[in-house]
Structure 1
Amino acid sequence: MSFTNQPTGRPQTGHDDQKKRRLIQCMAVFFLLGGVQIATQYFAYRFQYQPQLGAHFNQLYPPWSIIEWGSKWYAQYPGIFDTSMNIGMVFSAIGLIVTLVVKMVADNSVRLNSGLHGSARWANVKDIRAARLLPVKPSFFKNRFARQSLKDDYVYVGAWQDKKGTTHYLKHNGAEHVLCYAPTRSGKGVGLVIPTLLSWGQSAVITDLKGELWSVTAGWRKQYAGNKVIRFEPASSTGSACWNPLDEIRMHDGLEVGDVQNLATLIVDPDGKGLNDHWQKTSQSLLVGVILHVLYRSKHEGTVATLPLVDARLSDPERDAAELWMEMATYEHIDGANHPVIGSTARDMMDRPPEEGGSVLSTAKSYLSLYRDPLVAKNVSRSDFAIRDLMHYAQPVSLYIVTHPNDKTRLRPLVRIMANMIVRILADKLEFKDGQPVAHYKHRLLLMLDEFPSLGRLEILQESLAFIAGYGIKAYLICQDINQLKSRETGYGHDEAITSNCHIQNAFPPNRIETAEHLSKLTGQTTIFKEQITTSGKRVGMMHGNVTRTMQETQRALLTPDECLRMAGPKKDDDGLITEPGDMIIYVAGYPAIYGKQPLYFKDDVFSARAAVPAPAFSDKIARAA
């Protein structure tokens, strides 16, 4: 299917009439000046100021020269002057008659309003440049492996072909967020994710389902972009960095209670559906008290508090749970006194009937079962990096969160905890100077979250998209379709705010009609002109008696849902590997939609060279101060 012949509306309803008026005015001026010019040149010809008429013009006089010459020599050569002026007047008169005829025809012609029913159109090069997707410089690669400056840190949102067939990358380096709709195996990795990670030189957090992104991009990011590259693979026996969520709890100024409450909520709500029943709410309250108790006790004993240790305290086979409640109620947590929150939690458990208390305890322990896996327990036993290092370390930091498909579901609670803490810790304060926000970070942060709805409903992510751009955080969110995003069970519901806070939305050919309808509405309505011809006369006659042509404006979607579903997808070989790019659409708020092409990193020599840099065998580590 081709969109080159799609009708394009214009926002100015009288644009065509203005062009006709300007044309008629230009014709009138042309014929008036032309008459004077012809009179001047004829007079010059008669006096041999230039070669004979019909030869080449090596002398062209200004049109007003005939007036100057008449003031000097009219008395001597009145006949030649009159002849010259008559010739000029005849030319102007004929031209003005032609102009009048054109004006009458234009006034009597059908006047079509190209924006009557809608003015949607496909973006041209001026629109794309205005949307800041085409940089002023033709190529932003100054050196294949050179460290880039801040202004050269782009994310890739697609590609676009001009009228000559030349493909241009569409890149964005603003603070606004990007949302992509890309079904499985549509080419989003080779077209958007990998090119972005092979050009963005600042810090990044990447959800890497299969470890592919680490293999292709970590080498260049470490060796040539100057990044610390950290691979966090919780279920791996070797090669993974360690991260302990309890190390991020701020144990001062009373902040520990709020931090632990947020953490406990994430633990007992692994799907983001909210605390909907009594057992979730009571187990969350229990975990708050136990985690705080483990933190203070480990602090006093000089040991490390971890989530596996919390589970061990709750599941200790050598002592009864009542002993733990008594310890929590009598332990001297702060300056020889019992912590009020921990003491209250212990009293609540002691006051519950044995049956209810046992149910609350078993519910809390069920949410900690993940940390009984020895591999996961090992990888959360200490911290080889801190969340603040992502934006405040001396070098940019790239954090790859690797969860293989068979471990994806069970590791989701831990990944949700990390994502929540990244947003909450890095967007905690904003400083101002002279009424303007001041960047208190060393590096911008890109959140490259592939299939982010699979993490469940992260309320803090939805709410924070409206303001985290001011903290130097840019989100690049990828989902399969609009249903995955708006799902009431696993997504953000029909009243979601994700799309509202994403300045750029791009889409590969969709598989679901709901996504196609959404994209069609984003593209808009346009006005097309329908011609109707009516004939009269005998059916068997040689000629029709009368032929009537009628032009009518009507409305249609610039991109209908079925056209969206039939967009050209990428071509693949027998092994399912992409060989040729397909089509895609890019939407930028406030600008016409862009009908583009999918970029492919392996078709680009620069990207291919960067992807060939081998990934490091081991994850980097950032030493933490005591």
Structure 2
Amino acid sequence: MHSSSNHIRNILVFFFGMFFLLEFCFYISGALFVLSMWGLEYLDFNALNPSISDFPMRLWPTIFNYIHGWWADPKLYGVSNSLKLWLSFAAPLCIVGTVFWNLRHILLEWRPFRKKEALHGDSRWASERDIRKIGLRSRKGLLLGKDQRGYLVADGYQHALLFAPTGSGKGVGFVIPNLLFWEDSLVVHDIKLENYDITSGWRKKIGQEVYVWNPAQPDGVSHCYNPLDWISKKPGQMVDDVQKIANLIMPEQDFWYNEARSLFVGVVLYLLAVPEKVKSFGEVVRTMRSDDVVYNLAVVLDTIGKKIHPVAYMNIAAFLQKADKERSGVVSTMNSSLELWANPLIDTATASSDFNIQEFKKKKITVYVGLTPDNLTRLRPLMQVFYQQATEFLCRALPSDDEPYGVLFMMDEFPTLGKMEQFQTGIAYFRGYRVRLFLIIQDTEQLKGIYEEAGMNSFLSNSTYRITFAANNIETANLISQLIGNKTVSQESLNRPKFLDLNPASRSLHISDTQRALLLPQEVIMLPKDEQILLIESTYPIKSKKIKYYEDKFFTKKLLKSTFVPTQEPYDPDAARGGVDTVAEDVPTSEEGEQQAAIAHEESAQEAQQPQEQHGDEAGYDEFGDYPQDYDYSSEDDEYMEGLDDIEGEDVPLNGEGLDDIGDEDSYPEDHVSDEGHPEEDELSAYKEEPTDSELQDAEDGYGGGDEEPYYEENDGGEPYEADEIRGSEGGVTDVYPEEDEPLAYEEEPTDGELQDAEDEYGSGDEEPYYEESGGDEPYGEDETYDDEDTQPPRRDGKQRDDDNP
């Protein structure tokens, strides 16, 4: 149909052109005929009266004016009417015929009005009709530029990609104008926060909630965002959310990072399960950098193992099963990956959340994500976590009736974020969730270096609007030239005859169609500074002008004072936990924790003897159906209670066995610790049992008679107790402190003999006396040990004793 209409048009144009040519020929030939036949003396110019007033309404050639005058007054020319008529028609026809015959070759090749066939492309610049056809004259949406008729505005949620080298005016021409024009929710990747200073006041005025998240701001001037606040409460989705965060923080794929990611997931899920725990990355750092992280995590499994997520239980248990050196390597890898959150500024800015990502479509919210150029690389993991979470939350469900707004992500210097998998894959479906991307890059090499060729093509093909300024490298210029397209042009070659060669056959004109880019690569590089090229799918390229907001009254009247941003106080984790220690209240690490672990061990042993409850299709699984409950770990008691020599290759105790010994290597004297970090077998007898309370009291009384005065309470009369009133029949201490109604204790200091009796009393218990072997492998005798009052039995570690630390 298109080809047939073109053919009919070409025919009509040809005949119309021939008509004008004939009219011209008739005019000339008629004038020559009259002058040659009769001369000027017979010519009456009033009779000729040449006029084209009747054309084109009557399509009446001017030459017929002569014929009409001839016919009206033939006597004027002195000839008959018939002769006049024939001569009037014959002369112009002869002249026109002669011209056509001599120009027949040129006329046959002449195609000025014929539409070129798209043999090599038919690209051209878009007209106003094309612009209106694709809807670029909207009153709201995304600003793409301007032309002589007004702004180019694209409504909808199609994505845009801008090629703009440094210093080319992308801020004044695109970022700031759109921040002053876009009406829905907005997230701005704002390096140096220049855009916030200029546009935040206007966005606040039009009813937006404005936030500035600048985590590395030295003075703490920033709102807060905590990634762990947005983890799903559903058990299955919860693990998925934490694993995605772990992959962003520790993207490397090797053994240590794989194990560190697994431990990170376990620790985060544990923190989420304990109500008293602070849910933040800083708390993860403090947990992993505690004094004895292995012992603490083991206590977690024993005390609240059934309360935490099964995946947390399995991941932490797998970590505890590793050898000492392997555990140390995993902890070091994880701590190095979380080093950013050891910074108090980052810890404070990520300890809570001031804005709700889930409300971006329900309310109009603007978030400026600020950072300085020197922090681009250091804060990259944190930035990736934020944008990954934001886009994922906004695209989990289609917009509902109570979510009328869309969200625009204005990503200035997009490649500085590194590889964003969520953006690369999500750009294909974000539009359906009312999420729009405006990505700004300097050239194609930035995208190709991060996302490779396939990733770059994905961004190009899914960006409906592609805008380019003057390119700064040949690769980008070649790409833009190819995207603009080619056109078909005619190329003529004329062969002229030799001098004085009258043979017309020796002259020929050859016309051929060839290809030319509508805009060559060098022309893309040389594009004027105030011009830009807009490439839109399904239409011709648009050459337009850049916007300069500071020269346009539409934007200058919107420049208001920036909004207020609060200053965050340094984060206090103890205050956030209500003043508790780094370890949660239900995860003890002291003697109290050992007692609780022993109680838990007894309860677990009793439960192990009871039949397990059936869950689902099989027995032995908890309510999540993820890990077995019916495994009997009691068979491993002996191995864990013998100094934990084989903990590296055994399963971690889950019911309290072995916890008394985990992390206790430092409690033994260094001289009597084996190479594996545990006491020698033949010396364990010295530590089998602890002294009784009475024996401890004897030791206190015995060593209390040094240079210091004895510990006693005064009675109502202010006199000390008599010595014989507080001592038993065998010289032992009956009470640590006297009752309130008892008389005062001894008045004088104990004698040296009494002190010696107390020391002898301590050594007469069930255990063997505490001594060092002599050079002859015999114990020291009493006369060798107690020569005078300053001589005491030497310590087994070779150190000097004192009164406070016998």
Q: Which amino acid aligns with 1:353?
A: A
The answer to whether the Cα contact below 8 Å between 1:190 and 1:601 also exists between their aligned partners in 2 is yes
Q: Deviations over 1:526-578 (max 9, x none)?
A: 1111222222324xx79998653322211122222222122223xxxxxxxxx
% identity of equivalent residues: 30
2:655 paired residue number: none
Alignment of 1:39-54 (within 5 A): none
Q: Which amino acid aligns with 2:315?
A: T
Q: CA deviation at 1:484?
A: 0.6
Q: CA deviation at 1:215?
A: 0.7
2:127 paired residue number: 124
Q: CA deviation at 1:409?
A: 1.5
Whole-Å Cα distance in 2 between the matches of residues 189 and 456 of structure 1?
A: 21
Whole-Å Cα distance in 1 between the matches of residues 523 and 54 of structure 2?
A: 60
Query: TM (normalized to structure 1)?
Result: 0.74
1:134 equivalent among 125, 137, 148: 137
Q: CA deviation at 1:206?
A: 0.3
Higher radius of gyration, 1 or 2: 2
SS in 2 for 1:592: coil
Taking a change above 3 Å as real, the CA distance of residues 290 and 98 of structure 1, as seen in their structure-2 partners, is farther
Taking a change above 3 Å as real, the CA distance of residues 595 and 617 of structure 1, as seen in their structure-2 partners, is same
Whole-Å Cα distance in 1 between the matches of residues 546 and 54 of structure 2?
A: 57
The answer to whether the Cα contact below 8 Å between 1:12 and 1:115 also exists between their aligned partners in 2 is no
1:220 paired residue number: 202
Matched, 1:235 2:195: no
1:383 paired residue number: 353
Q: CA deviation at 1:474?
A: 1.1
Q: CA deviation at 1:457?
A: 1.1
Q: Deviations over 1:491-510 (max 9, x none)?
A: 35434411121111111111
Q: CA deviation at 1:254?
A: 3.5
Whole-Å Cα distance in 1 between the matches of residues 107 and 224 of structure 2?
A: 78
Q: Which has the higher contact order (CA 8 A, sep 6+)?
A: 1
1:191 paired residue number: 173
Taking a change above 3 Å as real, the CA distance of residues 367 and 289 of structure 1, as seen in their structure-2 partners, is same
2:472 equivalent among 507, 511, 527: 511
Q: Which amino acid aligns with 2:541?
A: A
1:491 paired residue number: 451
Q: CA deviation at 1:253?
A: 4.7
Q: CA deviation at 1:323?
A: 1.2
2:489 paired residue number: 528
Taking a change above 3 Å as real, the CA distance of residues 216 and 558 of structure 1, as seen in their structure-2 partners, is same
Whole-Å Cα distance in 2 between the matches of residues 276 and 167 of structure 1?
A: 55
Q: CA deviation at 1:404?
A: 1.0
The answer to whether the Cα contact below 8 Å between 2:269 and 2:308 also exists between their aligned partners in 1 is no
Matched, 1:454 2:410: no
2:561 paired residue number: 614
The answer to whether the Cα contact below 8 Å between 1:439 and 1:472 also exists between their aligned partners in 2 is no
Alignment of 1:47-446 (within 5 A): 108-111=108-111, 113-135=116-138, 152-160=139-147, 166=148, 168-223=150-205, 225-236=206-217, 237-269=219-251, 275-297=252-274, 300-301=275-276, 303-317=277-291, 320-332=292-304, 337-393=307-363, 396-430=364-398, 441-446=403-408
The answer to whether the Cα contact below 8 Å between 1:230 and 1:620 also exists between their aligned partners in 2 is no
Taking a change above 3 Å as real, the CA distance of residues 527 and 619 of structure 1, as seen in their structure-2 partners, is farther
1:464 equivalent among 380, 402, 426: 426
Taking a change above 3 Å as real, the CA distance of residues 337 and 616 of structure 1, as seen in their structure-2 partners, is closer
1:548 paired residue number: 508
Taking a change above 3 Å as real, the CA distance of residues 410 and 125 of structure 1, as seen in their structure-2 partners, is same
Q: How many residues align?
A: 512
2:685 paired residue number: none
The answer to whether the Cα contact below 8 Å between 1:439 and 1:471 also exists between their aligned partners in 2 is no
1:20 paired residue number: 10
Whole-Å Cα distance in 2 between the matches of residues 505 and 411 of structure 1?
A: 29
Q: CA deviation at 1:399?
A: 0.5
Taking a change above 3 Å as real, the CA distance of residues 201 and 23 of structure 1, as seen in their structure-2 partners, is same
The answer to whether the Cα contact below 8 Å between 2:249 and 2:337 also exists between their aligned partners in 1 is yes
Whole-Å Cα distance in 2 between the matches of residues 425 and 530 of structure 1?
A: 58
Whole-Å Cα distance in 1 between the matches of residues 121 and 173 of structure 2?
A: 32
Q: CA deviation at 1:308?
A: 0.4
Query: TM (normalized to structure 2)?
Result: 0.58
Matched, 1:568 2:528: yes
Q: Which amino acid aligns with 1:505?
A: R
Whole-Å Cα distance in 2 between the matches of residues 589 and 405 of structure 1?
A: 35
Taking a change above 3 Å as real, the CA distance of residues 349 and 216 of structure 1, as seen in their structure-2 partners, is same
Greater strand content:
1
Taking a change above 3 Å as real, the CA distance of residues 55 and 592 of structure 1, as seen in their structure-2 partners, is closer
Whole-Å Cα distance in 2 between the matches of residues 57 and 358 of structure 1?
A: 103
Q: CA deviation at 1:344?
A: 0.7
Q: Which amino acid aligns with 1:180?
A: L
Structure 1: tracts of 5 or more residues without a match = 1-10, 32-51, 64-82, 136-151, 161-165, 270-274, 432-437, 570-581, 622-626
Q: CA deviation at 1:403?
A: 0.6
Q: Which amino acid aligns with 1:329?
A: L
Q: CA deviation at 1:14?
A: 7.5
Whole-Å Cα distance in 2 between the matches of residues 386 and 289 of structure 1?
A: 26
The answer to whether the Cα contact below 8 Å between 2:158 and 2:463 also exists between their aligned partners in 1 is yes
